[in-house]
Structure 1
């Protein structure tokens, strides 16, 4: 394995990776605002655009482990530069392509690949390797909070861009912003020096070790639920509110922005508490809390204020799973292949994301409502709360290398 020395520019790594995450996650969370204008402009059902978003999430998960391998081997900066180029290309593709199959496949590969290279899985390795051990969980929390701040900041920006310039020019502006902000930040990410040790693992050995380890399997199962819940709600909440009679689009904008705002605090404190309390109990509590919040939202009379309260409660639990999950992976397996292993766990998250966003559109088209998907979301939340409880966070014991 590798031992990593403390990086002298830990704060620079946190700031630069935070800006990248802010844009990567902020732009991605706002894509639901294009569902109705693009569908109306091209004469599509909601299922077509939902399938495009689902494909983006699936490709994000599929490409994620390979992007993580590249980060661990070649450095995070190069991978983020590639991701910025893919992101801009994907946004332009969504603006210009009007053939449904090409739209779904092209945006899925480009945006999905971009997120694999610029989001949590890609930056987790350099953050974990740069942070002192006693601050590692806190550092993961800061990174997750940066992604949440992006959602809070970019939601109003994207909605206003669509309103002021039209849905198509809004994509052009976002593509320019991604290129001009991400690439300079990527160039500031310097990997900490590494010292090779005798019992060095190969990529295949690390992968086989992880997937044969029961706690890793539990993490993978729980993260599937996280992806299903957050992407279904993020993509379909604006349309759900409109269907239920809340026609003012600012309610959905404020709600999604509140999710991002409150998750800044939720992610930060999840990372901070993860350094003091068992992370598995915190994860279980987060999933159980989400289930309670969703159930109360569905049972309460719908109004703008009930939407805002739901958004605030859910926001506190939104991406707070990320620092805890990455922290458990680092605790069990170490840092050398952290980006890759986080990518494997995140693949499960994105399979859940694919099903959440696609199933929302598919069942709405077939049934005319989101009721069935909400029930599935509740059941999965209870499952995730239970499956995280038996996770053992202790470092894995490896046999010493042969002489």
Structure 2
């Protein structure tokens, strides 16, 4: 029996996963704070910088399934380490970017690859395998909430650095923090696959990856889940990229926008934990429908209400509760229906749908401002998409797929 050091024990896998997601998701959520100061310093338009962030989201989505497939075959450790290096490099390049090419290279290409390599699918797959079966949904909720803790702490911190120094110093500090993903990988690296090779893979499941992909592609519920996660990506990316600018356009301060994003992160901690707990007791597909419906209602009430500091913070708190509470439920549904063996691959494909939505959310927000001088059309689209996602999740067939028993490794 192979001895595992303390940092490889399941509870430390959970803790390290939460911190990695806190760093990765927290740093990525700060980009909306940098659009206005970067535009003022470089002369680049809001739309052009927004396009780089939109491309980051699209690249993240396109690369994630490929990284997931490789991680399910060879282990996630090398990719998480690569993600930490690329993240730090991308933030550093963005700090000194004085042309559209460098903005796209840093915040678009490098960060896009980094988040794909060190994002939800690889990290949550490690948690799903380490967690006791009966507590898997709760553990996924705890790990996902780690991303919200990062957002809650890093957004106000980044805004304070921008105000006290400048945006370049803030980006360099975030680059140093994102590099911490590298040493944390020691806890979540899936050694069973990397060291055990093909026999360990067979012990976990007799199903091949090709068969798993074919099975998921023919599953109507999986397709609906992927389409619904498109809406989550649209909402999250639009708001992280453009909520600070929208708040300033309402004659409120930049600090109000930073606090709003921080409140989203804080209440998402509670929402993610509650979603994980509820997902172990109630049907996840219905919980997802209710979350998307509540998002649509929250946005509608925010648009028709007064635009004051407290109104912004109340909306941010309410929406934060619904923010990434979709992640433990969506990833939990993938594991519930198909099992945890190829979760990095299958959730990676669902995540691609999320990031296609994120591309349009980030890009259309900037395009709407440049062409129409207003974010309102994209807010209205967000309401309609929330209603659509609520309808898409309701009919998902969520029963586990029955397969022949796995063949023990020889």
Structure 1 SS opposite 2:323: coil
2:383 maps to what in 1? 378
Structure 2 SS opposite 1:188: helix
TM-score, normalised relative to structure 1:
0.94
1:185 maps to what in 2? 184
1:169 is aligned to 2:169: yes
Question: Which of 254, 261, 280 is equivalent to 2:259?
Answer: 254
1:263 is aligned to 2:281: no
How well do the aligned residues superpose, as a CA RMSD in angstroms? Answer: 1.8
2:239 maps to what in 1? 233
Contact 2:148 2:266 (8 Å CA) reproduced: yes
User: Could you list the per-position Cα deviations for residues 108-134 of structure 1 after superposition, in whole angstroms to 9, with x for gaps in the alignment?
Assistant: 221011111112112111100000100
User: Could you list the per-position Cα deviations for residues 40-86 of structure 1 after superposition, in whole angstroms to 9, with x for gaps in the alignment?
Assistant: 11111110111011011111111111221232222222221110001
1:273 maps to what in 2? 278
1:82 is aligned to 2:88: no
Deviation at 1:283, TM superposition (A): 0.2
2:202 maps to what in 1? 196
**2: distance between equivalents of 1:364 and 1:253?**
20
**2: distance between equivalents of 1:334 and 1:308?**
39
**2: distance between equivalents of 1:219 and 1:324?**
10
Equivalent residue pairs, number: 394
**1: distance between equivalents of 2:145 and 2:156?**
18
Moved more, 74-83 or 386-395: 74-83
Question: Which of 218, 227, 231 is equivalent to 1:221?
Answer: 227
User: Could you list the per-position Cα deviations for residues 242-269 of structure 1 after superposition, in whole angstroms to 9, with x for gaps in the alignment?
Assistant: 11111x2221111111100001010001
Moved more, 362-371 or 73-82: 73-82
Contact 1:130 1:192 (8 Å CA) reproduced: no
Structure 2: gaps of 5 or more residues = 1-6, 193-199
2:3 maps to what in 1? none
2:30 maps to what in 1? 30
1:367 maps to what in 2? 372
Contact 2:75 2:191 (8 Å CA) reproduced: no
TM-score, normalised relative to structure 2:
0.92
Contact 2:8 2:188 (8 Å CA) reproduced: no
Moved more, 353-362 or 190-199: 190-199
1:4 maps to what in 2? none
Contact 1:59 1:112 (8 Å CA) reproduced: yes
2:139 maps to what in 1? 139
Contact 2:89 2:106 (8 Å CA) reproduced: no
**1: distance between equivalents of 2:79 and 2:39?**
33
Deviation at 1:162, TM superposition (A): 1.4
**2: distance between equivalents of 1:56 and 1:338?**
23
**Pair 1:400–1:145, CA change in 2 (3 A):** closer
**2: distance between equivalents of 1:190 and 1:39?**
39
1:302 maps to what in 2? 307
Deviation at 1:27, TM superposition (A): 0.5
**2: distance between equivalents of 1:101 and 1:295?**
37
1:18 maps to what in 2? 18
2:9 maps to what in 1? 9
**2: distance between equivalents of 1:245 and 1:271?**
38
2:212 maps to what in 1? 206
Contact 1:215 1:392 (8 Å CA) reproduced: yes
**1: distance between equivalents of 2:380 and 2:143?**
31
Contact 2:235 2:382 (8 Å CA) reproduced: yes
Structure 2 SS opposite 1:97: coil
Contact 1:80 1:186 (8 Å CA) reproduced: yes
Structure 1: gaps of 5 or more residues = 1-6
**2: distance between equivalents of 1:191 and 1:266?**
28
**2: distance between equivalents of 1:8 and 1:45?**
47
Contact 2:92 2:106 (8 Å CA) reproduced: no
Structure 1 SS opposite 2:188: coil
**2: distance between equivalents of 1:373 and 1:312?**
20
Contact 2:50 2:362 (8 Å CA) reproduced: yes
Deviation at 1:106, TM superposition (A): 4.6
Contact 1:48 1:104 (8 Å CA) reproduced: no
1:72 maps to what in 2? 72
